[in-house]
Amino acid sequence: MLQLKEIIQDASRLFVGDAVPDQYYQDTYVKNIKPVYAVALPKTHKEVQELVRFANEKDLVIIARGAGTGVAGSQVPIQGNELIIDVHLMDKIVELDEDTLTLTVEPGVLIGDLHDYVENKGYFYPPDPASKHSTIGGNVATNAGGLRAVKYGTTRDYVREMTVVLPDGEEMTLGSLNIKSSSGYDLKDLFIGSEGTLGITTRIRLKLIPLPKANVTILQAFETAQKATEATLEILKSGVDPSGIELFERSALHYAEENLGYPLKSQVGQAYLMISLDGNDQKELDGRIDIVQSVTSDLTLESHALNAEEAEKNWALRDNILLGLTKFTEFELLDEVVPINKFAELIESTKAMQEKHGLNVLNFGHAGDGNVHTLLMKDDLTEEEWTEKRAALLKDLYQKVDELGGLPSAEHGIGIVKKEYMGRMTQTINLDYMRKIKRVFDPDNRLNPDKVF
């Protein structure tokens, strides 16, 4: 049997026992100090296989990890004595194949770098999670989404082929370059979104599309989030095929305006939509701007098609909602999802919960696909109050999400943070079959056990 030091001969890529850096005990929000066996940073598929075989010999549990930007605790050790396989050094862009419109990458490529690379060559990879420092491997593990999912779908829709190392060290390639398939079971989609519980992804072939040549943003103001949700539905029905419909409330924007030092272009109303359209040329977009404004005219207080400079400044405000908040308070970001017509009802319900539990709540999110980002704010609460009030509010919130036919996670994953709610919100028979499938691929429960379900 190969020893760890024989597999990873470069000492700078191996940390054992006490030498393991603190960062491996946490992700963005979750910290859990359970001393791990070792952290190894492979650079090749073969090293990943050897590490997995080593873990089998030693009977160690494995956690695969990328940039550590997760928010659900999925990559945090919870048992102690784990072998963490950090793939973030496997960061090569392997091949842009312009004849099949695909890009082959290793799992550690950062999503921001991937976007820059393909856009410089005239191509487009639509999924755009907020963290540009997340890895594509992590994006596949959580089926990451982002602002453009309403038109373009999520990571799932762009993975043509992926190679994984299974819990026993064997390799398997899922999917293919073929665009259509009716040739056996779809194993690929089982692995996408499985949060590192079925295999470790070592290579991914992504579908690209041509980069849209023109973009425009429309900013609309509404009296209430309910009216903004109604407008969203009208826009979706109109055929303009928006590439994004973001909703935020004035209360959430406040921090961003203060932080950036300039106001949103609209100062009326309590809720806003920012609607993105993209296409082949400005002429195409002009026609669609007219359609958007016409189908929403009974609902809006104001509607502005923004010029390029305005668009940049107003998007910066929207993107700054979180960053603005960090200056004022600690917070926790959720990613629940409901059917699109329940979006406003969910947001509205959080206001009663805010009163009931004495915990400030803000909301923004992807109205076009029903994904709300609810923010729980710690403000001046003590740790004890925060822990207690947070738990009580989350229980109410996920119960409401469930009543509305929603799910606990749209794009961040379940990890350990939402596992309890996932258990309550999922039919027993579905959970049972998920567990059975886990056992098919991982009979020893070696890969990221006790996460998700």
Smallest distance from the beta carbon of 102 to its own copies, in angstroms? 9
- The sign of the torsion formed by the CA atoms of 126, 262, 264, 327 equals positive
Q: Which is nearer to its own copies, 326 or 430 (CB)?
A: 430
Q: Which is nearer to its own copies, 169 or 378 (CB)?
A: 169
Question: Residue 142, exposed/middle/buried by CB under 10 A (0-12, 13-18, 19+)?
Answer: buried
Q: Which is nearer to its own copies, 220 or 232 (CB)?
A: 232
Smallest distance from the beta carbon of 268 to its own copies, in angstroms? 27
Smallest distance from the beta carbon of 129 to its own copies, in angstroms? 11
Question: Residue 281, exposed/middle/buried by CB under 10 A (0-12, 13-18, 19+)?
Answer: exposed
Smallest distance from the beta carbon of 58 to its own copies, in angstroms? 24
Query: Both ends of the chain: CA-CA distance in Å?
Result: 33
Two tokens, residue 112:
């921001």
Smallest distance from the beta carbon of 342 to its own copies, in angstroms? 9
Smallest distance from the beta carbon of 344 to its own copies, in angstroms? 12
3-state secondary structure the chain: CCCHHHHCCCHHHEEEHHHCCHHHHECCCCECCCCCCEEECCCCHHHHHHHHHHHHHHCCCEEEECCCCCCCCCCCCCCCCCEEEECCCCCCEEEEECCCCEEEECCCCEHHHHHHHHHHCCEECCCECCCCCCEHHHHHHHCCCECCHHHHCCHHHHEEEEEEECCCCCEEEEECCCCCCCCCCCCHHHHCCCCCCCCEEEEEEEECEECCCEEEEEEEEECCHHHHHHHHHHHHHCCCCCCEEEEEEHHHHHHHHHHHCCCCCCCCCCEEEEEEEEECCHHHHHHHHHHHHHHCCCCCCEEEEECHHHHHHHHHHHHHHHHHHHCCCCEEECCCECCHHHHHHHHHHHHHHHHHHCCEEEEEEEHHHCEEEEEEECCCCCHHHHHHHHHHHHHHHHHHHHHCCCECCCCCCCCCCCHHHHHHHCCHHHHHHHHHHHHHHCCCCCECCCCCC
Smallest distance from the beta carbon of 218 to its own copies, in angstroms? 16
Smallest distance from the beta carbon of 91 to its own copies, in angstroms? 23
Q: Which is nearer to its own copies, 153 or 313 (CB)?
A: 153
Q: Which is nearer to its own copies, 21 or 184 (CB)?
A: 184
Q: Which is nearer to its own copies, 98 or 258 (CB)?
A: 98
Two tokens, residue 271:
């809720």
Asked if residues 337 and 305 have their Cβ atoms less than 8 Å apart, the reply is: no
Smallest distance from the beta carbon of 80 to its own copies, in angstroms? 25
Smallest distance from the beta carbon of 367 to its own copies, in angstroms? 11
Smallest distance from the beta carbon of 55 to its own copies, in angstroms? 20
Q: Which is nearer to its own copies, 324 or 370 (CB)?
A: 370
Q: Which is nearer to its own copies, 280 or 326 (CB)?
A: 280
Q: Which is nearer to its own copies, 49 or 194 (CB)?
A: 194
Q: Which is nearer to its own copies, 212 or 324 (CB)?
A: 212
Q: Which is nearer to its own copies, 205 or 357 (CB)?
A: 205
